[in-house]
């Protein structure tokens, strides 16, 4: 028997916070997940749904507040799916993220004793995103733009977003105001009607360069010239305006075709001493200030003296590779997206690196071939997507036994799983350093350092 039923109203004590930021209260051992409730709080909740071993409840009122609770500064925090933790002080967020990483290590990695350092946070944890992807839509004949609501494709309409650049606010508000006058219909996902799907803004943190990408349903875009004028009026410093065409019924943002409407095809940025040219669709870390911290940590753990050969798996446009190439004898990067490899090669050339090699393909296929061809590595760096490393790649690591492995991860759960496999194969996890790349959200990035035992 479940101790609560749907529509019950009761008072509960919140004891924990899940990895996706919901409060957890237990009623006779039965966990209830409560959005926006914080550990240490006594709250009244309304039970929304009960499943066999857990349920969901809505926060109605707070009787006893957590000392870490603050007023979320964003006006749409309650309905927007972008941030989950604005109601928690920044110090509280960092402590929470450290605990998420520790729990993953202990529970999923069976590594309760691995040293997990306090999370490296930001001095100012706002306005940090250098890339904004703003969905446009319509509601009751009105243009709306902002970010999606949690687990939905309804847009939480807003004119400001406190984790994005001020330029994103200016652009969003200005386009929203002028779209109808320009005769541009925002896209409607339900009916696949309309033209403008997303507006993507990218800013070079160091260079200040700005790229705007208008993602349209069709290539034929007669209002392009007026749109360019409006964007240049709103953002006089803009350096690149592109159109990307996505005619598919999909929630993927970009389509295959990208057209220059005005200015340069790329924007440039710098991380540390390395310059990067970034094209409209390439992956580039969204928090450049913390990226420097993250890559600095990876470089530190790589322990380079200038004589090492390094493999950078999942290398994207070669950001980590080039950071490492400053101190290594030779760096080999592999990445599955050919366009990103083109960017990586161009960026190596642009910075005058002659000690790098990049190849497009799946890391789990390319790296074994490198080894077969006699290309040995002293250090292996991996930075896989959320699902973690491919099993075949982990096997290759265990067979080849590089001296050090540096594992950069955006998902503590898959990191812990993969560390367990590497530990069983003879590696020791020396330490884990979490870095806060995404303040106000539940995401946490980690760098783990492993040595052969
Ligand atoms: N290290 C880069 C990119 C990390 S994101 C940076 O810091 O900027 C992860 C990258 O892995 C993405 O660019 C993605 O395209 C790539 N990827 C995904 N699956 C892959 C695979 N099987 N083999 C190689 N690369 C892969």
98 alpha carbon – ligand 1 mean position (Å): 25
273 CA from centroid of ligand 1 (Å) = 22
CB 439 within 8 A of CB 121: yes
Q: Residue 30 Cα, ligand 1 centroid: separation in angstroms?
A: 39
Q: What is the pLDDT of residue 279?
A: 87
Residues with catalytic roles: 410
Q: Which of 286, 358, 384, 389 to mutate to test the pocket of ligand 1 (most atoms within 8 A of CB)?
A: 384
Closest CA to 2 of 36, 32, 45: 32
For residue 282, the model assigns a pLDDT of 84
Ligand 1 centroid distance, CA of 315 (Å): 6
Residues in CB range of 334: below 8 A, 6 or more apart: 311, 312, 313, 314, 315, 358, 359, 360, 361, 363, 366, 367
- The residues, ordered by sequence, that sit 6+ positions from 271 with a Cβ below 8 Å of its Cβ are 288, 291, 292, 295, 319, 323
Which of 335, 392, 435 for mutating ligand 1's site (highest number of atoms within 8 Å of CB)? 335
Residue 312 · residue 320 · CB < 8 Å:
yes
Q: Which two tokens stand for residue 32?
A: 């209830």
> pLDDT tens across 337-380, in order?
898 899 999 999 999 999 999 999 999 999 999 999 999 999 99
Provide residues with CB under 6 Å of ligand 1.
283, 285, 314-316, 319-320, 334-337, 340, 362-364, 383, 385, 390
User: Measured between alpha carbons, how far is 196 from 188 in angstroms, rounded to an integer?
Assistant: 9
The span from the CA of 265 to the CA of 54, in Å, is 51
Whose alpha carbon is nearest atom 10 of ligand 1?
Answer: 314
Q: Which residue minimizes the CA distance to atom 21 of ligand 1? A: 362
Pick from 311, 307, 297: which is nearest to 381 by CA? 311
224 within 8 A of 249, measured Cβ to Cβ = no
Identify whether the C-beta of residue 70 lies closer than 8 Å to the C-beta of residue 88: yes
Cα-to-centroid distance, 422 and ligand 1 (Å): 20
| pTM for this model (two decimals) | 0.93
pLDDT, residue 335, reads 96
The pLDDT of residue 449: 98
Query: Where is 371: in which H helix or E strand?
Result: helix 363-372
Cα distances (Å, whole numbers) of residue 312 to 135, 332, 333, 414? 33, 6, 5, 18
**Per DSSP, what are the bridge partners of residue 186?**
196
- Two tokens at 249? 């019924």
**pLDDT one digit per residue (tens) for the chain, 453 residues:** 889 999 999 999 999 999 889 999 999 999 999 999 999 999 999 999 999 999 999 999 999 999 999 999 999 999 999 999 999 999 999 999 999 999 999 999 999 999 999 999 999 999 999 999 999 999 888 999 999 999 898 999 999 999 999 999 999 999 999 999 999 999 998 899 999 999 999 999 999 999 999 999 999 999 999 999 999 999 999 999 999 999 999 989 999 999 999 999 999 999 989 999 998 888 889 999 999 999 999 999 999 999 999 999 999 999 999 999 999 999 999 999 898 899 999 999 999 999 999 999 999 999 999 999 999 999 999 999 999 999 999 999 999 999 999 999 999 999 999 999 999 999 999 999 999 999 999 999 999 999 998
Please name which of 293, 422, 282, 419 lies closest in space to residue 344, comparing C-alpha atoms. Answer: 282
E-state strands within 318-421:
330-335, 356-360, 379-382, 404-409
- Ligand 1 atom at shortest distance from the alpha carbon of 384: 9
């Amino acid at each position: 028997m479940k101790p609560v039923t749907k529509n019950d109203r009761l008072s509960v004590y919140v004891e924990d916070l899940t990895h996706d930021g919901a409060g957890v209260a237990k009623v006779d051992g039965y966990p209830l997940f409560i959005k926006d409730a914080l550990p240490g709080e006594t709250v009244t909740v309304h039970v929304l749904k009960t499943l066999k071993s857990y349920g969901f409840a809505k926060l109605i009122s707070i009787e006893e507040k957590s000392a870490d609770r603050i007023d979320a500064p964003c006006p749409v925090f309650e309905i927007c799916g972008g941030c989950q933790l604005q109601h928690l002080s920044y110090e509280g967020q960092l402590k929470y993220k450290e605990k998420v990483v520790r729990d993953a290590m202990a529970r999923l990695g069976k590594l309760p004793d691995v040293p997990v350092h306090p999370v490296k946070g930001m001095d100012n944890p706002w306005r940090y995103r250098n890339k904004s992807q703003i969905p446009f839509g319509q509601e009751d004949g009105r243009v709306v733009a902002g970010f999606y609501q949690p687990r939905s494709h309804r847009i939480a309409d807003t004119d400001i977003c406190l984790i994005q650049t001020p330029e994103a606010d200016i652009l969003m508000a200005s386009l929203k105001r002028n779209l109808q006058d320009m005769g541009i219909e925002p896209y409607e996902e339900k009916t696949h009607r309309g033209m403008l799907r997303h507006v993507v803004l990218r800013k070079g943190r160091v260079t200040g360069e700005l790229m705007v990408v208008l993602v349209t349903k069709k290539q034929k875009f007669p209002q392009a010239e007026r749109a360019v004028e409006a964007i240049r009026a709103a953002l006089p410093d803009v350096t690149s305006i592109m159109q990307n065409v996505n005619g598919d019924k999909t929630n993927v943002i970009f389509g295959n075709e990208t057209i220059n409407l005005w200015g340069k095809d790329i924007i440039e940025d710098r991380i540390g001493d390395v310059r990067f040219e970034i094209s409209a669709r390439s992956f580039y870390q969204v928090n450049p200030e913390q990226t420097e911290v993250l890559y600095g940590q990876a470089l530190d753990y790589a322990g380079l003296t200038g004589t090492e050969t390094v493999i950078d798996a999942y290398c994207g446009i070669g950001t980590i590779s080039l950071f490492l190439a400053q101190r290594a004898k030779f760096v080999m990067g592999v990445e599955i997206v050919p366009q990103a490899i083109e960017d990586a090669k161009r960026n190596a050339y642009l910075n005058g690196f002659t000690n790098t090699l990049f190849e497009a393909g799946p890391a789990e296929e390319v790296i074994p071939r490198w080894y077969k061809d006699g290309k040995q590595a002293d250090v292996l760096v991996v930075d896989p997507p959320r699902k973690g490393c491919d099993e075949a790649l982990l096997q290759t690591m265990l067979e080849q036994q590089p001296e050090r492995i540096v594992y950069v991860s955006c998902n503590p759960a898959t990191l812990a799983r993969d560390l367990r496999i590497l530990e069983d194969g003879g590696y020791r996890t020396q330490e884990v350093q979490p870095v806060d790349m995404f303040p106000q959200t539940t995401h946490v990035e980690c760098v783990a350092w492993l040595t052969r035992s």
